[in-house]
Structure 1
Amino acid sequence: MSFHLTKNSTLFTPSNYNLLSITLNSTSKYTNSTINRITKRKLNTSNLLFKNGNTFNPNKISKSFFSASTVHKDINNNNGPKVKPLEKIDHTILELVRLNNNFNPNIHKVVPFYLDTVMLGVIPENVFQQLKKYNKTFSKNEKPFSIFAHKVTFSEYVNTFEKRGKAINDLLTHWRDNNTFSCLKGWRDELYPVFDGNHEIAFNIERSGIALFGLRAFGCHINGYVEDPETHKLKMWIAQRSFNKQTFPGKLDNIVAGGVSFPYSPTETAIKECLEEASMPQEISKQVVPCGAVTYISVEKRGISSDSQYVFDLKLPPSFKPKPNDNEVEGFHLMEFDEIIERLKKNEFKSNSGIVIIDFMIRHGILTHSMEVNYLDILSNIHRPIPFPGPNFIKMKNKK
């Protein structure tokens, strides 16, 4: 499949992306309800009981509703991780996924970044202005970028993998050394691949700068869960990010997650990260099951994240206990889904990790259409089409 030049109006339309406004005051609150705990075999609405014993009647609920067993205590006063909630407390599930998938071309001003006739990303307005300043420091025939009012591309002479990578690296190094963008203070010396319309690697880019161009990035997230052999009740291992991490310090996260950097595939990354982050031996980590991906475009302080997160499920033996193996994790906590949901609604999870867990709950029947009136909107917001080319890992594997 090849990608061709297409007008922005067709690439970024509300109909394509289900772009709906976020109403933070629309949260339904049912703080006095007591719900039977969710298990894999308790999935119908007859299990949802209010305190007075009446069954849940969805016809009486006019606003977005989602609830699992309410925790009638401050979950930060137990033995679990202590997380400072951010922004609004008590989000609905729909609000959570919209907050993560919040790019709206009708609101956010961007300039497309092209390679030939293929759009690779979108550049925020403030980055576009700095790019123009940088390009002016070169003589006419040496400018690395061709910049127009509604389009940016490489100059004609920047026409190879090596030249494109050097042009991007020189630019980001200049911005880093001049403190132009704060995201570059977290320089990783880790390269992310950027793909062209033929799914070949067009160039590599320093990880900390990829959102400045809205380029498509790839990660992997592992849902590490345990199933009770008798009740079939599921629990999930949750990591707490180090308080010293530059991004999302102290937030809750999947047991293992990481960016897919050059030259690894998502599965290779998942297995590698399992050892690095959770001290997980390969005889366990090799059992990861690919379960698709979640996709979104998110406007953040560091730029625009056009992300595809490959999702893996990993059923763990009850005897396994993950242990931090680097300085990126404070610790691990085995949680029931009622606590996970409560912490999700309090915005204690790293945002994209939260939607990976929501995806898990949907796939495992923990969150169903009979429990959530916004079920389809949730699905469309965690599987947003990304109009930029992606990888061909089969071809990459054959080149190794």
Structure 2
Amino acid sequence: MPDLTLAPFLAHIAHCHNTSLPGDRVPFHCEGALIGWIAPRFAASLQALPDSPLHRGEEGFEISAGSQLERLGRIMAEAGLYRSHNELFDVFTPDGTVLGQIDRGALPPLGLAARGVHLNGLVTKADGVHVWMGHRSLTKRLDPGKLDHLVAGGVCAGLTPREALAKEAEEEASIPLSVIQAAREASILHYTMERPEGLRRDALHCYDLDLPADFQPEPSDGEVSFFELVPLEEAFIRVRDSQQVKFNVNLVLIDLFIRKDLFSATQAATLRAALNEAP
């Protein structure tokens, strides 16, 4: 009989694992490597792009050189297929080779893989472990007002995940490099998710950072309205009983709850299997 107490947590995980590949998507190749999957709802618009380096062939969509990806992204934005982030991300082959760069907003319509970083900012007090949570600005285009991590963001072109973590920490929470260097690599979580903007194929590089009780993060780039220090058990309840938390932040917090022994061994094994479900 299934453990009903896990149902809310499994629902959050299933929400981020809401699709399988390829489904009805068309493969997207660059320099002979499979780099993306394009849904039918984008295919016709992509084929109609003027002066585009993207072509539809027998094997699906293709672009001859990674150096043409950035131009493709500009053409897509000009055609209204997405709103530019003015932020380039690396485009990878399945083995991790960087082929080129493209605007972050073009990743979902093309079904390209992306990387992100998430930091669990932890404070241990006499009454137990607490975790810092950010309240996302109401002007954010994605999940405004939702609860987020102390630090979270995408890995921009040319950066390693740890370099991206340091960049986001300074920009989002005014955390200096001398502090963020102590962050520990905790896990890498993957999910494949169909959303209104397209296909999200994300790898989340998760870190833990122990912080002193008097630490106070300060929002600095407008992406976070304010930060709140929450007992870990309260964060557990918010994930379990509400939809307050940003969709992928739920995954990182569930991973943290497992590592902090908030589930039984049997429950943890069930959740870990769901988190590690092959995309």
User: Which one of 101, 118, 121 corresponds to residue 33 of structure 2?
Assistant: 118
Measured in 2, the distance between the counterparts of 1:151 and 1:367 equals 45
Counterpart of 1:395? none
User: Which one of 9, 18, 24 corresponds to residue 102 of structure 1?
Assistant: 18
Going from structure 1 to structure 2, the CA distance change for 1:62 and 1:201 (only over 3 Å counts) comes to closer
Shift in Å, 1:317: 0.7
- Say if 2:28 is the partner of 1:65: no
Shift in Å, 1:146: 3.0
Q: Which amino acid aligns with 1:218?
A: R
Deviates more, 1:191-200 or 1:283-292: 191-200
User: Which one of 146, 154, 178 corresponds to residue 55 of structure 2?
Assistant: 146
Shift in Å, 1:322: 1.1
Shift in Å, 1:129: 1.6
Q: Which runs of 5+ in 2 are unaligned?
A: none
Shift in Å, 1:116: 4.1
CA displacement 1:127-165 (0-9 Å, x = unmatched) = 11211222xx45xxxx623313652111xxx33x42343
- Say if 2:74 is the partner of 1:162: no
How many residue pairs are counted as aligned between the two chains?
Answer: 278
CA displacement 1:285-317 (0-9 Å, x = unmatched) = 111111121100011010000000100100111
- Say if 2:90 is the partner of 1:193: yes
Q: How does 1:282-297 map to 2 (within 5 A)?
A: 282-297=177-192
Counterpart of 2:273? 380
User: Which one of 175, 181, 186 corresponds to residue 79 of structure 2?
Assistant: 175
Measured in 1, the distance between the counterparts of 2:173 and 2:202 equals 24
User: Which one of 282, 298, 311 corresponds to residue 193 of structure 2?
Assistant: 298
Equivalent residue of 1:347, what SS? coil
Q: Which amino acid aligns with 1:383?
A: N
Mapped contact 2:73–2:106 kept (Cα < 8 A): no
Counterpart of 1:331? 226
Counterpart of 1:341? 236
CA displacement 1:183-240 (0-9 Å, x = unmatched) = x23x211000001255332111100111001110001000001112x55x21101100
Counterpart of 2:138? 243
Measured in 2, the distance between the counterparts of 1:216 and 1:381 equals 20
Q: How does 1:64-103 map to 2 (within 5 A)?
A: 64-66=4-6, 92-103=8-19
Q: Which runs of 5+ in 1 are unaligned?
A: 1-60, 67-90, 387-400
- Identify, as 1 or 2, the structure richer in strand: 2
Mapped contact 2:134–2:149 kept (Cα < 8 A): yes
Counterpart of 1:33? none
Query: RMSD between aligned alpha carbons?
Result: 2.1
Going from structure 1 to structure 2, the CA distance change for 1:119 and 1:368 (only over 3 Å counts) comes to farther
Measured in 2, the distance between the counterparts of 1:285 and 1:170 equals 34
Mapped contact 2:134–2:226 kept (Cα < 8 A): yes
Equivalent residue of 2:35, what SS? strand
Equivalent residue of 2:48, what SS? helix
Equivalent residue of 1:92, what SS? helix
Q: Which amino acid aligns with 1:365?
A: D
Moved over 4 A (4+): none
Going from structure 1 to structure 2, the CA distance change for 1:162 and 1:117 (only over 3 Å counts) comes to closer
Measured in 2, the distance between the counterparts of 1:385 and 1:287 equals 31
Mapped contact 1:296–1:381 kept (Cα < 8 A): no
CA displacement 1:229-266 (0-9 Å, x = unmatched) = x55x2110110000111111000001110100011111
Counterpart of 1:216? 113
Mapped contact 2:70–2:103 kept (Cα < 8 A): no
- Say if 2:278 is the partner of 1:353: no
TM-score using structure 2 length? 0.92
Shift in Å, 1:104: 2.9
User: Which one of 188, 191, 213 corresponds to residue 318 of structure 1?
Assistant: 213
Mapped contact 1:299–1:305 kept (Cα < 8 A): yes
Measured in 2, the distance between the counterparts of 1:197 and 1:302 equals 22
Counterpart of 1:227? 124
Going from structure 1 to structure 2, the CA distance change for 1:332 and 1:126 (only over 3 Å counts) comes to same
Counterpart of 1:271? 166
Measured in 1, the distance between the counterparts of 2:264 and 2:135 equals 27
CA displacement 1:13-71 (0-9 Å, x = unmatched) = xxxxxxxxxxxxxxxxxxxxxxxxxxxxxxxxxxxxxxxxxxxxxxxx754214xxxxx
Q: Which amino acid aligns with 2:123?
A: V
Identity %: 25
